[in-house]
Structure 1
């Protein structure tokens, strides 16, 4: 793929946050945020919510994240508040398998962590990781639901620009929503 060795498991440190790959001791926090925010997260993260229904599922998912990291399939960082050590959510980068390398970014926060600038701070750190020495992505992409103005604002404040809008039915029982696609190119 793009790197002979996986990136080190070194945390990304920002002014208020620590972003780090999950450890086996994180399953309770990981499960609690997904379980407490299940309804809110399901429209945007249906696979994650569906796959983590129990604490055992959380343990299995965290093990899969570690395997994905080693193989370069997916890089998932849990987001923790530096001062309080509270778990806030996660952010991930899914690289492409072809050249030029690009990666899709996905992120979510617990409801109590929204509206405080944490997503913007975490996304800025993930951008640096994506364009950094290990991944060396040419560009990054992300998707936001048009009816999620906070997520749209986070993308644009971090330098992402809209490239298209697509209509999508998800889940089939809900009304049609628009998905905004964003892109951020590496500095030349």
Structure 2
């Protein structure tokens, strides 16, 4: 992948060499991520756990079953966001897109710019016919980013996700066609 640049930010693949900055970003945002990024939070509790997690990600990237990326603030050289492609179906082809932003970077428009650029890249580079995302009703920030990026609500799947706290919640499905 060629790195994607916008303003003074860069989107690039997450690699095992990113251990410390990735762990630090997750650690800074752990309370915000706990309910809906349970896999990330549970597999990155320690630096050693995170190292194993990144090694697993590298294998999955090689197999093209999971593709994680980071958003880097080039002015500070700090990770400020995460994007990933998961639940990839190469037969259609389509993929689910996930994202989160560092609390310090949230609400500044960076997520929307990054998400749009990333989605355009995914359609062009991977030839996806569809990208989709799932979120919950209270996540108004992601809902705004999705809608500003050309995604449309496709429906609500009731009682579709169990949070870390054990609450079963509805998920709103958004989709964007190429």
Quick one: structure 1 residues 173 and 87, their matched pair in 2 at CA, closer, same or farther if it must change by over 3 Å?
closer
Taking the aligned partners of 1:172 and 1:77, their CA distance within structure 2 comes to: 24
1:153 corresponds to 2:168:
no
Once the two structures are TM-superposed, the CA of residue 43 in structure 1 deviates from its matched residue by: 1.2
Residues matched between the structures, number? 177
- Structure (1/2) with the larger strand percentage: 2
Alignment root-mean-square deviation, CA: 1.8
Quick one: structure 1 residues 56 and 166, their matched pair in 2 at CA, closer, same or farther if it must change by over 3 Å?
same
Q: Which residue of 2 aligns with 1:93?
A: 85
Taking the aligned partners of 1:111 and 1:75, their CA distance within structure 2 comes to: 23
Contact in 2 for aligned 1:103/1:139 (Cα 8 Å): yes
1:139 corresponds to 2:136:
no
Q: Identify the range of structure 1 (11-20 vs 153-162) with the bigger mean alpha-carbon deviation.
A: 11-20
The within-5 A match list for 1:1-188 is 9-94=1-86, 96-133=88-125, 135-168=126-159, 170-171=162-163, 173=165, 175-186=167-178
Q: Provide TM-score, normalisation by structure 1.
A: 0.86
Q: Identify the range of structure 1 (93-102 vs 108-117) with the bigger mean alpha-carbon deviation.
A: 93-102
**Gaps in structure 1 of 5+ consecutive residues:** 1-8
Q: Identify the range of structure 1 (167-176 vs 91-100) with the bigger mean alpha-carbon deviation.
A: 167-176
SS at match of 1:132: helix
Structure 1 residue runs of 4 or more that deviate by more than 3 Å after TM superposition: 172-177
